[in-house]
Structure 1
Amino acid sequence: MTEHVRISTTDRVMYVVLARPEKKNAITQAMYGSMAQAIREYSAGDDARALVITGEGDYFTSGNDLQDFARGADGDGPPPVVQFLNAIASCEKPLIAAVNGPAIGVGLTMLLHCDLVYAARGATLSAPFVKLGLVPEAASSLLLPEAVGQAVANDIFMTGRALSADEALQFGLVARVFDDTELADGVGEIALHVANSAPNALRLTKSLVRHRGAEIAAQMEREGKLFSDQLGSPDFAESVAAMMQKRAPVYP
């Protein structure tokens, strides 16, 4: 567990809050481990019937903590990031996202596995993997083109540009946009409604909408291999060096 993920349950709603605002909620392996455990417990138990993921402060998340990520994970078995992605992709109960600020990288791709996604008006969504010399993950190379169309998905992936909350609404990546100060209360009301709804009907509805678990898992595995290869590539090394040195990258 880590203090950078705050987990609580109120009125059968579990809240998973990324709580590292001093680092723009950049996600470490320890944070992935805590989130994976929380989602597994939510999936297996009956204490909570809705789960909300959100961020503390001005960011939803700035994505992976690259320095922590490059060091790799300790221990045997799947890395915590893989555990988290598997947990969020296979969860049979409702997952809700309250995007309170910029959602970068995995901050966007995890939304593709959430059933109800809401954003603050000041939020932005981006997937700048290519800018970092990396490739999409979380089966986003499958799910994002299906959600927004191939042309828009390529625009998001290949340019790394950020979508405004209104654009995300237009493209169907979020269901509603709230004023920044109203997001928490608005999503809290929706989560409470979901938690008090017929649980089996919710599970069955989700299973009907999301019925391609094996295909999504296979795409995650393909992406994960390429992502791992790119972490050791000249592309990634030059991208990170340029970012740290605040200069334009120069690729061979």
Structure 2
Amino acid sequence: MTDHVTVQIDAGVMTLTLARPEKKNALSNAMYGVLADSLEAAEKDPTIRVVVFQGDGDSFTAGNDLQDFAAQATGAFSGERHVTRFLKALANATRPLVAAVQGQAVGVGTTMLLHCDLVFVSPDARLTTPFVNLALVPEAASSWLLPARVGHARAYAMFALGEAVDGATAVAWGLANALVEQGDLRARARAAADQLAKRPLGALTVTKRLMRDAEKIAQLMDTEGAEFAARLQTAEAREAFMAFAERRAPDFSKAG
């Protein structure tokens, strides 16, 4: 295990496991670095034909580690933000991406699924994108990809109200392929990955390229990223993170 992410490669399948269950697999900057490195390595390795994402414990991921966010909001963070590399790696991935999702899938835990080609969810999955709750804006090109997938009204409710989508609804809305009992979830995702690994990689690569506008996605990520970074410096964001640390409801009227 490296920085709470395990990387396993077997029979053409790279499995990336978020292994920080005591924190609901909240993603730190270091974890983003491992995920980005792994996706970039997969693109260069012809023996890796499929990538699977999964999480240990009762959640897929609680999203970004809010301590990292708070550090950025207060100016205490310095160095490269590896989340940007991870998101760009998702945008530019040519390998099929498969996800096994149980429990919480918060923020990037949901938006990254929009870049996956096959998604399997358990009945207890709860997909949420509560960016506005934190005085932030959508990322990972989700401001385009989510409405395109589920419609404006549903996407807006997820973004602006932070409404959760359960596993069955995720399947009904087209955010996931199938509902799978948690005990069978990883096996189902792996079986799908094994099937893909046996398909002609060239044909899969071209099919994915035809189905996605990778250049537009990457450009939108840049636009969202700039807005996101600017929002982190606002009084609204400081109030949101202070309220979280103090375990109270935020009062955005204080932020003007």
TM-score class normalised by the smaller sequence: over 0.9
Aligned to 1:167: 169
* In structure 2, C-alpha distance between the alignment counterparts of 1:69 and 1:235, rounded to whole Å: 13
Residue 13 of structure 2 corresponds to: 13
**Deviation larger for 237-246 or 115-124:** 237-246
Structure 2 counterpart of 1:144, from 143, 146, 150: 146
Q: TM-score, normalised by structure 2?
A: 0.94
Structure 2: how far apart are the matches of 1:36 and 1:217?
15
- The CA distance in 2 between the partners of 1:54 and 1:228, in whole Å, is 28
Check whether the contact 1:120–1:178 (CA below 8 A) recurs between aligned residues.
yes
Which residues of structure 1 form unaligned runs of 5+? none
The residue number in structure 2 matching 1:53 is 53
TM-score, with normalisation over the residues of structure 1?
0.95
Cα distance in 1 between the residues matched to 2:3 and 2:143: 32
| SS of residue paired to 1:7 | strand
- 4+ runs of 1 displaced by more than 6 Å? none
CA distance in 2, matches of 1:11, 1:99: 22
Alpha-carbon deviations, 1:169-199, whole Å to 9, x = none?
1110001110111101111111111111111
Give the corresponding residue for 2:235: 234
The partner residue of 1:178 within 177, 180, 185 is: 180
Letter in 2 for 1:109: T
Which structure 2 segments of 5+ residues have no match? none
What corresponds to 2:198 in structure 1?
A: 196
- Correspondence for 1:208 among 207, 210, 227: 210
Q: Which amino acid aligns with 1:98?
A: A
1:205 Cα offset (Å)? 0.8
**1:114-125 to 2 correspondence within 5 Å?**
114-125=116-127
Distance in 2 separating the partners of 1:202 and 1:227 = 33
Q: Which residue of 2 aligns with 1:30?
A: 30
Q: Give per-residue Cα distances to partners, 1:99-148, cap 9 Å, x unaligned.
A: 12210000000111111111111111000001111110001001000000
- Once the two structures are superposed, what CA deviation does each residue of 1:1-26 show, in whole Å capped at 9, x if it has no partner? 93301000111111001111111100
1:230 is displaced (CA, Å) by 1.0
Structure 2 contact 32–82 (Cα < 8 Å) conserved = yes
Find the aligned partners of 1:176 and 1:207 in 2 and give their Cα distance. 23
State the alpha-carbon separation in 2 of the partners of residues 198 and 100 from structure 1: 30
CA RMSD of aligned residues (A): 1.4
Q: Work out the CA distance in 2 between the residues paired with 1:54 and 1:118.
A: 10
Q: In the aligned structure 2, how far is the partner of 1:119 from the partner of 1:44? A: 29
* CA distance in structure 2 between the aligned counterparts of 1:74 and 1:92, rounded to whole angstroms: 31
1:170/1:155 Cα in 2 relative to 1: closer, same or farther (>3 Å)? Answer: same
Please give the secondary structure, in 2, of the residue aligned with 1:37. Answer: helix
Tell me which residue corresponds to 1:40: 40
Select which of 105, 108, 122 maps to 1:106: 108
Identify the residue that residue 83 of structure 1 maps to in structure 2: 85
SS in 2 for 1:247: coil
Q: For the Cα contact (< 8 Å) 2:3–2:34, is it kept in 1?
A: no
